[in-house]
Structure 1
Amino acid sequence: MEVLLVGRWLLTVAVLAALAIPIAARLFRWTPGRGIGLAPILAVAILTTVGYWVGRVSFGVDALAAGLLVLGVGSLAASIDLEAARRGSLAIADDAFPADRRTAGSAAVVFLCAFALVLAIRAADPAIAAVGGEKFLDYSLLRSLLRAETLPPLDPWFAGETVNYYYGGHLAAALMTILSGVPPAYAYNLALATVYACLIAAVFELARGIAADRIDADPETADRNADDPEATDRIATGAGVATAVAVGLASNLATVRSLLARVGSGATAEAEPFHYWDASRVIEGTINEFPFFAFLNGDLHAHMMGAPFLVLGAALAYAYWRTSESALRRRRLLVFGAIPVLGGTIAVVHTWDLATLFGILWLAVAFAPARPLTLFPVGDVLPTGDGPSIGDVPPDDGESGVGVGPPRSVLRTEVERTGGAIAVTVVAAGIAGVLAAPFLLGASSGQEPALVPPDQRSGLGGLLTVHGAFLAAFLAFLAGRLVGTGPRTTGGDRSPSAGCGSLLVGVAAVVASGLLAGVPAIAVVVPPLVLGWVALRADRGANFETVLIVGGAGLVGLVEIVHLAEQAGPGRLNTVFKTYFQVWTLWGIAVGVVLAELWSRGFRGVTAGRTARVRRSAATVLPKGRTLARALVALLVVSTLPYAALALDAHFDRHDVGTLDATAFVAIEHPEEAPAIAWIDEHATREDVLLEAPGTTRSPEGLARAAEPGMYTWRANPASSLTGIPTVAGWDHEVGYRGVEPYERRVTAVDRAYAGTTVERVRTLDAYDVTYVWVGPTERERYGEDVAFDHLEGVSVATETDRVTVYRVDQDALPG
């Protein structure tokens, strides 16, 4: 039966992706597979966007049908040959589908392999256990959405109120659950595998597109590959595979550091056993998750589901980057249409990604060949003519080089480009803000920006452990880009050693100053940020991968300066947690492209934009051949993959459940509560309200006899979490969504209902319109073994097991 469920789910994904292929081909026609790897997440994004807006009026089948209709119409429109249509005939456009079956098939293989990996992981341990993650929250949101008639859905942990949390990813999972007809207990794990597969397929497609552009931009490589047409495809595919591994399997250096420490301590030393959790808690007071850890842990959480949407946004930004200045309509549609619409959806999926999306857009607009201000009507007064396109070699006139030409021209370039890009981004972000306003206006408040105290800044060792592998690759790559950017020699070319040397000396001085001042993050942030910016502005063979390098470095630096003060975690824990996941995604794409080039070309890299003499002089500075570069690539691979091997081995060694049913563990591990939960799930409706012990150690009036249950434990609200039926006061998470006072007010009311007077009990049942009361092991420990409600008028036993009694409340029969 489960094989059939998986088949139905995959068929659903395949149909959605197939509908999106023509749209992806139009948007991302520059990739070797014409965007086919981005088609799955594009389809999900369209379905989610339409489902969200229609769902605010009527959610469920209506919202799903509307989403499918828009996706189908868009697919049909993208498939039509417009030139033929203008001539009065109907034909399928040649570029509406991938031309090469092999490149299309490779993206499908990547998707299926990624899907199968997470599916195998979850089949071994499918449980939505409350310990060590947010599975109770994620599953309760999915169940609440599946019960919803309109959006936003009801909050399963705060009865009578709607969800005050980003739920767009769970919305996408709910729509796919409805479409496939798969039971939610299976859909949870299938959705998790789909998110991972969408992410890996998307980064694979984007990276091989960037890599292919880099090859096409280099005259030397293009000439060399003319006799071997498949060479470009091999290198581009290698970049895609490297990116898939970097994003999907690689880890930080914590594991290899630990392994080396064991070797250094000698064989007789007692080795601390490997635990997959340790690598996600490197920098003190923060969470440093990377994708493989997150998907191994198995939460269907917002920061994970937002990642493929962010990659889709980066791909749209790159689509703008590649669009010539003369294609004004397409550029405007991308910047003021597609990206803001996606941004409005990202706000609902994972609001933290919204700022990063527009940060990437800003960098793309600032460094793209097309001038930013031409997007506005005022651009008509600028000099006419097409801007440079990818692969153009600018004239060696000194205007684009570092330290060349009058300072005013450099400053003017920065003002026009950077300032113009800011103006464009503000307008685009404003459009997205309007689209996201219905969600943002109702989202949780109480988050305030605050400066990071000096004692909470990251240490150099932790930063290098988390980001060191990326930095090694990026600095080697950027050094190759910047050779030849110094002052002109007597021969007319730039001195490769003088320009690069002076720049590196300046960067080194800033890094040293930062270390002396006790701000070690400068050593991690400044080199890729400055060198990347210079390489982009000087047109030294840097492409969109360098935009991602600069963007990621900016994010790492930003969280060392400010954080959001909130209830979700002490200090900057949550800020670093959410931001670092984005950094890993962006840098993972960039590092795949970089590693592929280092492997195939060595440190010299792409030489487009340089005169022949500069290319020759660069060869005297950088190592000849590729041996050293390949050694670096091998070292980075060896140092970042042991985690995945050890974690998978430990996972399958500990777990062998053999099902995808996320709730199968309930009957096995909690047999005294399982029948009652199943009864609630079957008989209760979205209009019902469940009373159970709150998921907190709080008891404002001291009515609780024990501190249990707290959070992250089975005993915290299992009935509401597994069914989606709202409870009066759920997990302590609600403090972050509602504030301390509103949550504690409810906790007090629940405590009074279980341990107060009859009048207080009735008052709570009436005030929150309670229809079912849950009395199980948690309630008896928290309030006493003699907790009962059947003596109250209007309350009767609905179902009962040895340890659980569920009471039905007749609101009309309650005493006045």
Structure 2
Amino acid sequence: MIVDLLFILNWWSLMFMLGIIFFPLTVLFFPNFFDRGYIFSKILAIAVLSYGIFLLGTLHLLPFTRINSIALLLVILITIFLKFVFVKKDKWFLKKELFLIIREKWKIILFEEILFLITLFFWAYIKSFQPEIHGLEKFMDFGFINSILRSNYFPAKDIWFTPLSINYYYFGHLVTAVLTKISDVPPNISFNLMLSMLFSLTFVASFSIGMNLMFFISKKKRYSGKILYFSGFITAFFVTFGGNFHSIYAFFKPYSVENPLPFWNLQFLPNLFPNSYWYPNATRFIHNTIHEFPIYSWVVSDLHGHVLDIPFVLLTIALLFSIFMSFFEQNSLENQKSKIKDQKYSFNLKILNFKLKLLPFNFSLLILLGFILAIMYMTNAWDGAIYLLLTFFVLFFLEKEGEEFKNKILSFKFFLNIIILIFSFILFTLPFSIYFKPFASGIGLLCAPDFLIKIGKIGPFLFEADHCQTSPFWQLMILYGFFYFLVFSFFALIFKSKTNIKDLFVIILIMISTILIFIPELIYLKDIYPAHFRANTMFKLVYQSFIMLSLSSGYIISKIVIYAKEGLEAKKRIIVLAWLIFFIPFFVIISIYPYFAINSYYGDLKIYQGLNGTKYLNNLYQDDYKAILWINKNIFGQPVILEAQGDSYTDYGRISSNTGLPTILGWTVHEWLWRGTYDIPAPRINEVKTLYETSDTKITNAIIKKYNVKFIYIGKLEKQKYSKLNETKFKKIGKIIFSNSGTKIYKIIL
């Protein structure tokens, strides 16, 4: 436990340092935030640092090593120091403006840092009861990270399809590798620390957004500081821990997963609570679909793109809200002044020479938005598109609210801003996109009419028979009913009191979230899964919908609390009590999901195992575990190693995943997805089988030369998979460099 504690403190100290280095930038871009965007300095730091390493590695200008990574960080530090801290017109900015900001905001900054540390420790502690990098997508995620760690340049090699590079969105895995390399934490530990950090960043970043949403409307009304913290915590809870109404099934007789029934049609059996409830069902409730949400992701612990991207998602939303705040703050100032000749808005940041022109927006801010959107695309492609859409909506509504544009449709400057945004987005994705080949094969229309099915395809649009899945309304309400109960309460409140233009940002979030929920009821992106053809489309869209609705819900509840506190005459008291009668049980239902999920996955938190994610191998595959340790200590670079090929979500691919050494073929279905067709990985299945089983030396040598195989691995799974395994030929063309019980590694000598 002491060793784990030191690893956690090491990781935290690195993130603390990164946040401090980038804090002057968040002061710049979050001028009206109550906390000056402190927590987002950490997220911005890992984005900029990782992208710099990625860009230099892709251009083959700087190899990815620990020394080079630290050197780049020092260059960034010096640049920020000289630009924002050291000299500004012969004045010490650190002594003056930044010092004043820190002196004014030190309490909230310290509070958020402590909150970050506490939540980091909290989830690391939870993870220590089930740290295994095993099951679901973990072999893939860990393999990506290990491949990147062994890479000098990019793109990183695909461990399961030598000699090609990864054809998937792996920037989040690169971020993990960068932090792993700089901190010098072993990857089997850093995997779990990264998950814990993502949890922590999500909680505190959501707290910051929730707090600032309330701070924005409370400035003139001078609400108590308690409401800001309440708003922050309730928002953080919804985003990080919130479930859905599916938890109510814990009190009813279990249903068939193939044919889910409304709970009111099932027998009420409260005595089954909590043992009868299977928590993954809340993410697979609508048949043949996936609709996950963050707490499920934290529990099952896949370090996958949609999880790695959450901090960048929250950074984007925070940046857009900062723009939104600044726009209305400036409009408020303009209303108090006489005519102003120059319409350049500075927001009390003259010392940084930061003029945020609304509209057009400051060029550097548009570039930053394009950069973060590019980061999201390279981490989880759907998110890039989703938040590009959200950005368009925010800019559009600000355009329409601007005084000089009220009587116009859209201005030239607006389109110029959009062009700059898209151009910067494309530019920053280039180091990734020039090597990436998209594997979606079209956009399918659900329940297409017969005449379109006969046509089959028009451009990218597909019209396929037997592709007519829709979600019953009652199931959608089980999944999202809590949010829309609050949404309708919100609209009733603002209709009754008076619409506040400052509510517009939350209204935009609600609107985009609702659109995302209904898109997979109309169309789907074509992939390789025949029965689950809309599963991935729904998954990627509603995951972001859940986050945005959670952020909105924290704001809505805080507004209702304020409404309730502003005098409780008889009529209002009745309204509030009636609302609470519904809200309290609804809130309890969505709040108990973590109880089921955490206890189920982590064994009721009974056996502490530590943060070592590969230690399980010592029990499950002891010989493999020793071989993996030996490989990681003695084999450098990325020579090709032959191991048994197998199906996805099995234990095959364990050697390549745990070492980062590429093999001929790993998880077949994954490669089928990434390469776009089964025809590409299919021939390799027989080649691997032939290589293990043939006695023909010529055939063996031909395949070895074709894939430049340097090592042959023979272990328990290889012997199980290939019953006719012929080891004699390997003795002729290689030598044993590792042997333990029945496990051997041959080094090829041709």
Match for residue 238 of structure 1 among 214, 230, 237: 230
Instruction: State the 1:113 CA deviation.
Output: 3.0
Q: What secondary structure is seen at the aligned counterpart in 1 of 2:193?
A: helix
**Cα distance change of structure 1 residues 439 and 95 upon mapping to structure 2, 3 Å threshold:** farther
Contact conserved, 1:346 with 1:353, CA < 8 A, in 2?
yes
Counterpart of 2:371 in structure 1 is 341
Work out whether 1:807 is the aligned partner of 2:736: no
Tell me the alpha carbon deviations over residues 553-599 of structure 1, each in whole angstroms, 9 at most, x when there is no partner.
12112222222112378301111112222111222111111111112
In 2, Cα distance between equivalents of 1:576 and 1:371:
33
Contact conserved, 2:84 with 2:93, CA < 8 A, in 1?
no
In 2, Cα distance between equivalents of 1:314 and 1:546:
13
Match for residue 527 of structure 2 among 559, 562, 566: 566
Q: What secondary structure is seen at the aligned counterpart in 2 of 1:255?
A: helix
Alignment of 1:725-744 (within 5 A): 725-732=661-668, 733-738=670-675, 739-744=677-682
TM-score w.r.t. length of structure 1: 0.78
**Cα distance change of structure 1 residues 584 and 743 upon mapping to structure 2, 3 Å threshold:** same
**Cα distance change of structure 1 residues 87 and 675 upon mapping to structure 2, 3 Å threshold:** closer
Contact conserved, 1:157 with 1:729, CA < 8 A, in 2?
yes
Counterpart of 2:475 in structure 1 is 462
Work out whether 1:448 is the aligned partner of 2:438: no
Counterpart of 1:478 in structure 2 is 491
Tell me the alpha carbon deviations over residues 757-796 of structure 1, each in whole angstroms, 9 at most, x when there is no partner.
4332221111000001112222222221543154563222
Q: What secondary structure is seen at the aligned counterpart in 2 of 1:323?
A: helix
Match for residue 250 of structure 1 among 228, 242, 246: 242
Q: What secondary structure is seen at the aligned counterpart in 1 of 2:622?
A: coil
In 2, Cα distance between equivalents of 1:98 and 1:174:
35
**Cα distance change of structure 1 residues 741 and 96 upon mapping to structure 2, 3 Å threshold:** farther
Instruction: State the 1:462 CA deviation.
Output: 2.1
In 2, Cα distance between equivalents of 1:655 and 1:268:
25
**Cα distance change of structure 1 residues 679 and 467 upon mapping to structure 2, 3 Å threshold:** same
Match for residue 504 of structure 2 among 543, 558, 575: 543
Work out whether 1:118 is the aligned partner of 2:123: yes
**Cα distance change of structure 1 residues 95 and 728 upon mapping to structure 2, 3 Å threshold:** farther
In 1, Cα distance between equivalents of 2:103 and 2:445:
49
Instruction: State the 1:55 CA deviation.
Output: 2.4
Q: What secondary structure is seen at the aligned counterpart in 2 of 1:771?
A: strand
Contact conserved, 1:207 with 1:239, CA < 8 A, in 2?
yes
Counterpart of 1:713 in structure 2 is 650
**Cα distance change of structure 1 residues 95 and 474 upon mapping to structure 2, 3 Å threshold:** farther
Q: How many residues align?
A: 681
Counterpart of 1:416 in structure 2 is 410
Tell me the alpha carbon deviations over residues 197-221 of structure 1, each in whole angstroms, 9 at most, x when there is no partner.
11211111112111111223xx6xx
AA aligned to 1:292 is I
Alignment of 1:258-277 (within 5 A): 258-259=250-251, 265-267=267-269, 273-277=276-280
AA aligned to 1:279 is A
In 1, Cα distance between equivalents of 2:491 and 2:724:
68
In 2, Cα distance between equivalents of 1:123 and 1:193:
10
**Cα distance change of structure 1 residues 240 and 63 upon mapping to structure 2, 3 Å threshold:** same
Counterpart of 2:716 in structure 1 is 777
**Cα distance change of structure 1 residues 47 and 632 upon mapping to structure 2, 3 Å threshold:** farther
Alignment of 1:96-135 (within 5 A): 96-97=101-102, 99-129=104-134, 131=135, 133-135=136-138
In 2, Cα distance between equivalents of 1:313 and 1:175:
22
In 1, Cα distance between equivalents of 2:77 and 2:586:
41
Q: What secondary structure is seen at the aligned counterpart in 1 of 2:104?
A: coil
Instruction: State the 1:603 CA deviation.
Output: 11
Contact conserved, 2:86 with 2:94, CA < 8 A, in 1?
no
Contact conserved, 1:22 with 1:96, CA < 8 A, in 2?
no
AA aligned to 1:22 is P
Work out whether 1:73 is the aligned partner of 2:34: no
AA aligned to 2:663 is T
Counterpart of 2:697 in structure 1 is 758
AA aligned to 1:194 is M
Counterpart of 2:427 in structure 1 is 434
Match for residue 191 of structure 1 among 170, 191, 194: 194
**Cα distance change of structure 1 residues 541 and 179 upon mapping to structure 2, 3 Å threshold:** closer
Work out whether 1:643 is the aligned partner of 2:582: no
Q: What secondary structure is seen at the aligned counterpart in 1 of 2:174?
A: helix
Q: What secondary structure is seen at the aligned counterpart in 2 of 1:543?
A: helix
Contact conserved, 2:160 with 2:667, CA < 8 A, in 1?
yes
Counterpart of 2:461 in structure 1 is none
Unpaired stretches in structure 1, ≥5 consecutive residues = 226-230, 373-382, 388-408, 486-534, 606-615, 696-709
Mean Cα deviation higher: 737-746 or 293-302: 737-746
**Cα distance change of structure 1 residues 803 and 255 upon mapping to structure 2, 3 Å threshold:** farther
Instruction: State the 1:747 CA deviation.
Output: 2.1
Tell me the alpha carbon deviations over residues 279-325 of structure 1, each in whole angstroms, 9 at most, x when there is no partner.
11112111111111101111111110101101101111112212347
**Cα distance change of structure 1 residues 422 and 620 upon mapping to structure 2, 3 Å threshold:** farther
In 2, Cα distance between equivalents of 1:579 and 1:789:
53
Instruction: State the 1:727 CA deviation.
Output: 0.7
Mean Cα deviation higher: 28-37 or 57-66: 57-66
Unpaired stretches in structure 2, ≥5 consecutive residues = 255-262, 331-342, 346-354, 448-467
Alignment of 1:358-397 (within 5 A): 358-368=388-398
Paired-residue identity, %: 21
Instruction: State the 1:66 CA deviation.
Output: 1.6
Mean Cα deviation higher: 273-282 or 562-571: 562-571
Contact conserved, 2:390 with 2:512, CA < 8 A, in 1?
yes
Alignment of 1:167-178 (within 5 A): 167-178=170-181
Instruction: State the 1:236 CA deviation.
Output: 1.5
AA aligned to 2:486 is A
Instruction: State the 1:153 CA deviation.
Output: 1.2
In 2, Cα distance between equivalents of 1:96 and 1:48:
28
Instruction: State the 1:355 CA deviation.
Output: 0.8
**Cα distance change of structure 1 residues 293 and 675 upon mapping to structure 2, 3 Å threshold:** same
Tell me the alpha carbon deviations over residues 359-406 of structure 1, each in whole angstroms, 9 at most, x when there is no partner.
11112112227767xxxxxxxxxx86xx9xxxxxxxxxxxxxxxxxxx
Instruction: State the 1:623 CA deviation.
Output: 7.0
Contact conserved, 2:253 with 2:269, CA < 8 A, in 1?
no
In 1, Cα distance between equivalents of 2:139 and 2:546:
26
Q: What secondary structure is seen at the aligned counterpart in 2 of 1:416?
A: coil
Match for residue 55 of structure 1 among 54, 57, 80: 57
Tell me the alpha carbon deviations over residues 455-475 of structure 1, each in whole angstroms, 9 at most, x when there is no partner.
212221221111111111111
Instruction: State the 1:128 CA deviation.
Output: 0.4
Counterpart of 2:465 in structure 1 is none
In 1, Cα distance between equivalents of 2:156 and 2:270:
57
**Cα distance change of structure 1 residues 777 and 90 upon mapping to structure 2, 3 Å threshold:** closer
Counterpart of 1:699 in structure 2 is none
Match for residue 155 of structure 1 among 158, 163, 178: 158
Q: What secondary structure is seen at the aligned counterpart in 2 of 1:690?
A: strand
Counterpart of 1:27 in structure 2 is 29
In 2, Cα distance between equivalents of 1:441 and 1:603:
56
AA aligned to 2:33 is T
**Cα distance change of structure 1 residues 269 and 210 upon mapping to structure 2, 3 Å threshold:** closer
Tell me the alpha carbon deviations over residues 233-268 of structure 1, each in whole angstroms, 9 at most, x when there is no partner.
211211110111001111111112432568972559
**Cα distance change of structure 1 residues 126 and 626 upon mapping to structure 2, 3 Å threshold:** same
**Cα distance change of structure 1 residues 591 and 88 upon mapping to structure 2, 3 Å threshold:** closer
Work out whether 1:579 is the aligned partner of 2:541: yes
**Cα distance change of structure 1 residues 64 and 279 upon mapping to structure 2, 3 Å threshold:** farther
AA aligned to 1:735 is W
Counterpart of 2:349 in structure 1 is none
In 2, Cα distance between equivalents of 1:68 and 1:87:
21
AA aligned to 1:284 is H
Instruction: State the 1:10 CA deviation.
Output: 1.3
**Cα distance change of structure 1 residues 469 and 553 upon mapping to structure 2, 3 Å threshold:** same
AA aligned to 2:672 is V
AA aligned to 1:755 is E
